[in-house]
Structure 1
Amino acid sequence: MSFAQPHPAGPAGSRPGKAKRPTWHWVVLGGCSLLALLIALGVAGLVGYQILNRGNPQDTLENFYTSMENGDCRLFEESTTEEYRQTTQLDDCATFETMTSQMGALDYTVDERVNRQGYAIFEVTETYQRDGQDVEAQLRFYVRRFEGGWFVDGVEVVDAPTTG
């Protein structure tokens, strides 16, 4: 009198009417997952490298002052834009070396740094000697980011040099 007969038990965990997936299916699925993970890690690594390798505008400013102090024309060219060199008429090494050979000790202090879109703007107090007297000037440096690096693109005199 019983209408419902129990189904015969199959392998543990199997359901009636559902076929087991073949092994190759799991291998393909695992391979695709691994490939997607490797691509994601590669993209994350590339983005991280680009972020960390952007350079530092402070280093560019330091290179600029080092080039002026040592008369290093190559370092000067590496830390400034072509437009800046043309504007200041220091677009060839002979002129640059003549100008820097007349300079004495040059010291600077960064008073403030402001970041703008594509620029880092530095307020700098520059100290040097002229005719045996200390001279102090307030300058504003515009360090521009382009072509994967930072370059001095302009200098503005904030307060005229004063002797002290």
Structure 2
Amino acid sequence: MTTAPPSGPSAPSPASRPRRPLWHWLLLAGVGAVGLLVVAVLGVIIAIQLLTRGNPQATLEDYYSSLETQDCELFMDSTTAAFREAAGVTGCDAFEQAVGSATSIDFEVDDRTNRRGYAIFTVTERHQVEGQELEATLSYYVRRIDGQWDLDGIVLDEIDGEPVL
């Protein structure tokens, strides 16, 4: 038995889906644009946070600059209150008295280690003391507090190549 295709008019083809109205596409484009704008704003905020974290080595350079230029404000901005108290330099008068006879200090950063919220710099420092050149190796502990890096401690490691016990 064979079947033949039905004779006569063919069945109507299914109607194509109706086109979406223009407002639908505009709404989707608007939602997409707002989403991209939110992502872009978050990207900018994250980038700003990363770029303004500061540089702990700049704090070390500010510290040395404050000693060289006898800039009390820069010294206060680059050190923690605990450091200033331990050093006995709690005000500008004490700072000027402590730094009064300081000559230029040459320093070279030898190493940097990051550990538990601190950037630890090993620094070789050369300066004149009573006409004699002195070389010392120190460890500077620079700590991030409230988004700013501040010098929090100094440890004298060596003087003229001899370890300090």
Could you state the TM-score of these two structures normalised by the residue count of structure 1?
0.89
Q: Residue in 2 aligned with 1:100?
A: 99
Q: What amino acid maps onto 2:75 in structure 1?
A: F
Runs of 5+ in structure 2 lacking a partner?
A: 1-5
> What is the rounded CA distance, in whole Å, between the counterparts of 1:36 and 1:3 in structure 2?
55
Q: Residue in 2 aligned with 1:26?
A: 25
Cα pair 1:68 1:76 within 8 Å, conserved: yes
Q: What amino acid maps onto 1:143 in structure 2?
A: V
Identity rate of aligned residues, in percent?
39
Mapping of residues 102-121 of structure 1, within 5 Å: 102-121=101-120
> What is the rounded CA distance, in whole Å, between the counterparts of 2:161 and 2:67 in structure 1?
20
State the Cα distance separating 1:136 from its structure 2 match. Answer: 0.9
State the Cα distance separating 1:157 from its structure 2 match. Answer: 0.8
Q: What amino acid maps onto 1:142 in structure 2?
A: Y
Task: Answer yes or no: is 1:5 the counterpart of 2:4.
Answer: no
SS at match of 1:59: helix
Deviations 1:55-80, CA, capped at 9 Å, x for gaps: 11111100000001111100000100
> What is the rounded CA distance, in whole Å, between the counterparts of 1:32 and 1:84 in structure 2?
53
Mapping of residues 1-164 of structure 1, within 5 Å: 1-2=6-7, 5=10, 7=12, 16=15, 18-160=17-159
State the Cα distance separating 1:34 from its structure 2 match. Answer: 0.1
Runs of 5+ in structure 1 lacking a partner?
A: 9-14
Could you state the TM-score of these two structures normalised by the residue count of structure 2?
0.88
Cα pair 1:71 1:97 within 8 Å, conserved: yes
State the Cα distance separating 1:149 from its structure 2 match. Answer: 1.2
SS at match of 1:67: helix
Deviations 1:115-158, CA, capped at 9 Å, x for gaps: 22321110001111111100111100001112111110110111
Cα pair 2:134 2:159 within 8 Å, conserved: no
> What is the rounded CA distance, in whole Å, between the counterparts of 2:116 and 2:26 in structure 1?
49
